[in-house]
Structure 1
Amino acid sequence: MTEIARLDYAVNALGYSAALGRLVGLTSKGHAWWKNPSHVVLIDQKGVVSDLGPVDAQWFRTDDVTAGAVVGTTFYVRDNASLRAIDIDPASPTYLKIVRSVVLDWPALALDDFTAGAAGKLTGVSAAGWGPGEVVSFDPVSGRVLGRKEIKDLPGRSTYGAVVIDSAGTIFATNNGYRGRSRVYRITDVAVELSAGPEMGMIDGAGCLPNPMPPRVEPPAPRPEVPAPPPAPKPPAPPAPAPVPVVPPPPAPVVTTAPPTVAPQPIPARAARQKPEPRRDLSLKVESTPLTKSRKWVMVTIILVMLGAGAAAARARG
């Protein structure tokens, strides 16, 4: 345990506000609680306290307040058997007013601390009765208990004044005093004691504060304005280049395409006769037609002429 700061007044019902990045609590801060209402304060990671002002309800006091938690911009505190909802949104018209009060079911009304769990419900550890301690969850809007479960090895008949829960749903609870020691337990389905220390009469817990914010960097002081130098004269534009004659491209060569060579077609072979025919002899029969007689006279005449021509040629040679 590390001491961050020492205050000269008590702060109770601590809760953590992710929206404000601070712990939220109630204190009388030196004011007599029977004369003045409770003040809402913020505490940063260095222990610096900011007083937001009194709760806007003259009848509200801190003498019976024992537990607190923040859901969104609503600060829930247990006031005896009632749950008070205080608006801590600075932009809200009901800022620092009690916007709702409900009566808690048993055993939520016996919780000395609770923390914001999943789905906006509040969760604490009850040690009322003779059995082991139990985890109790309830609805902060209606005050109804949503679930309760006895935990093995979690001591009963003692109060748990500090309860927090991590992102995995594991609960860490500190017993105010069991067998003369204040003990820290990790609670899942069973309870495991993590450490023990001197017995404390008053204890409270809240969610973990974020890492310290980086220091604010002031912007550099503005430099005096220096008149800008006059613009340099523009150089004269270069002369336009002489036009380049356009030479027409040479005509495209004419490509003569030779006609395609036609392969000679084969001459089909003459089909052979399937069966040789027998030779036909001329008929020896003498024709007796009139045409046959005329042919004979023509042959005789041709022979005579040839004989005459041969005789004449012999005489000429003699």
Structure 2
Amino acid sequence: MTAARPRHRHRGPALLATVLLVLLLGPPVLPARAAPGCAILRVHAGSVHGPSTLSRVELPAGTATRIRRFGYEVNAIGYSPAQGRGYGIATQERHGYRPGSWHRRGQVVSFDLEGTVREHGPLRHSGRRPPWVSIRQATAGAISGTRWYVKWGSSLQVVDIDPDSPSFLHVLRSTALRPASVAGAVHDFDLDPADGALYGVSTRPKGRAAVVRIDPGSGAVRRLPGPHLPRASAYGAATLGPDDALYVTADVARQRSRLYRVPRDGSAATELSAGSPVVSSDATGCLPVVRPPAPPTPAPPPPVPPSPVPPSPAPPAPTSTTPAAPEPVVPPATTPEPEGTTPPPARPVPPRSPARPPVSEPAPTGWSPPRAQQAAEQRADATERKRRWSLAVLVVIIAGSAAARHVGRR
């Protein structure tokens, strides 16, 4: 008895061909998933108390595009998406850099994405006792809604930036940060709307940089677990990216300014880019994504009117082969003669020869009406198709017989 063969034996050649293609062309390359990123605004100064340069930085690539250079040093910046403007603290005269030409208390400036600046003067204080630390020492800033969080020293201020509010640019609340040594070494932070806390990098104690969490309500500063960041003069710019990681800029680390991506889950930081060293820097949060408007859908073209069809010529009038009837012979009119006169003899009319019948031309040999010719062609096509089908059936029968004999021998 012949053993049953596997049903899917025809998959072997296909599988072998697939393996050969993989060996020759290599495994298929899947498209790499792009890392989530955003754009931020960053300011940096290349000299002590020098003017700041405003740039747009793309994360995570770290590509910077210069927007403009301010006439003073700007720090503690934040960005308000509702207003489309950033706010910062300016600590130098507008008209050029001169050593010692400082604002006594600093002033607030705002700027748009093109770098156009507005000056708003110093901060106002709603309480009786203004903070003793000068605003020109502000190092960190972040904006959430209409509240601007500004830090100088170990003090956190909450400023109203609603232009329609009577307390516009007033300090609404001041909170002392503890421990002061760790808080004082935080040079920038960003606010996480998920928990309302501020996150940045502190270089204290002993110059060991680590990510910290600041509670704006209680002022508690806590170092997060994880590996330490490279030693740096300061981490002056900090932004929370859409991937929940913290992007920070070290002003000077190993003689260069370096951008790092720092996960908040405790894993190691990654260096993204490096540039010239800077003296101070600061950054806003991620800017809102502005998508270009979709192009309008073009209107469909008007329908093309149909071209007029020329009138078909009238068929020629059929030519009749029926012999024309002979014209009747009308006898000439006779005038009655008066009585007593003899009429002259009538002239004899010559007889007409009878009309000759038309001679019909014989039809050409081999000619047949159109309908008969079509019927004959159709019968010939049907005969040809039957003959082909018969030949195909015969081939199938012969092939089946050969396959059966082959199976029997196996």
Q: State the TM-score bracket (shorter-chain normalisation).
A: 0.5 to 0.7
User: What is the alpha-carbon distance in structure 1 between the residues aligned to residue 202 and residue 270 of structure 2?
Assistant: 16
Q: Which residue is equivalent to 1:168?
A: 243
Q: Counterparts in 2 of 1:219-234, with a 5 A limit?
A: none
Is this contact kept in 2: 1:103–1:143, CA < 8 A? Answer: yes
Q: Which residue is equivalent to 2:166?
A: 93
How large is the Cα RMSD of the aligned pairs?
Answer: 2.5
Q: Which residue is equivalent to 2:268?
A: 190
Query: What 5-or-longer segments of structure 2 have no aligned partner?
Result: 1-63, 95-100, 294-410
Residues 168/29 of structure 1: CA separation in 2 closer, same or farther (3 Å cut): same
Higher helix share: 2
How does the TM-score come out when normalised to structure 1?
Answer: 0.61
Residues 131/152 of structure 1: CA separation in 2 closer, same or farther (3 Å cut): farther
Q: Which residue is equivalent to 1:149?
A: 224
Q: Counterparts in 2 of 1:103-252, with a 5 A limit?
A: 103-106=176-179, 107-117=182-192, 118-130=194-206, 132-145=208-221, 147-152=222-227, 154-156=229-231, 158-188=233-263, 189-210=267-288
The aligned amino acid for 2:275 is G
What SS does the corresponding residue of 1:30 show, helix, strand or coil?
coil
User: What is the alpha-carbon distance in structure 1 between the residues aligned to residue 117 and residue 207 of structure 2?
Assistant: 40
Is this contact kept in 2: 1:114–1:125, CA < 8 A? Answer: yes
Question: Is the deviation greater in 113-122 or in 25-34?
Answer: 25-34
User: What is the alpha-carbon distance in structure 2 between the residues aligned to residue 86 and residue 38 of structure 1?
Assistant: 15
Q: Which residue is equivalent to 2:106?
A: 38
The aligned amino acid for 2:219 is G
Question: Is the deviation greater in 203-212 or in 95-104?
Answer: 203-212
Residues 68/98 of structure 1: CA separation in 2 closer, same or farther (3 Å cut): same
Q: Which residue is equivalent to 2:155?
A: 82
Question: Looking at CA atoms only, which structure, 1 or 2, has the larger radius of gyration?
Answer: 1
Shift of 1:34: 5.4
Q: Which residue is equivalent to 1:19?
A: 82
Residues 169/211 of structure 1: CA separation in 2 closer, same or farther (3 Å cut): closer
Q: For each residue in 1:68-96, what CA deviation from the matched residue of structure 2 results, as whole angstroms up to 9, or x when unmatched?
A: 11122111111211111111112223211
Query: What 5-or-longer segments of structure 1 have no aligned partner?
Result: 216-318
Q: Counterparts in 2 of 1:233-272, with a 5 A limit?
A: none
Question: Is the deviation greater in 51-60 or in 22-31?
Answer: 51-60
Shift of 1:213: 9.2
User: What is the alpha-carbon distance in structure 1 between the residues aligned to residue 207 and residue 110 of structure 2?
Assistant: 37
Percent of pairs with identical residues: 41
The aligned amino acid for 1:198 is S
Is this contact kept in 2: 1:21–1:209, CA < 8 A? Answer: no
Residues 153/109 of structure 1: CA separation in 2 closer, same or farther (3 Å cut): closer
User: What is the alpha-carbon distance in structure 2 between the residues aligned to residue 196 and residue 18 of structure 1?
Assistant: 29
User: What is the alpha-carbon distance in structure 2 between the residues aligned to residue 45 and residue 125 of structure 1?
Assistant: 26
Tell me the matched-pair count: 213
The aligned amino acid for 1:204 is D
What SS does the corresponding residue of 1:162 show, helix, strand or coil?
strand
The aligned amino acid for 2:108 is V
User: What is the alpha-carbon distance in structure 2 between the residues aligned to residue 60 and residue 152 of structure 1?
Assistant: 33
User: What is the alpha-carbon distance in structure 2 between the residues aligned to residue 150 and residue 133 of structure 1?
Assistant: 12
Shift of 1:62: 3.0
The aligned amino acid for 2:123 is V
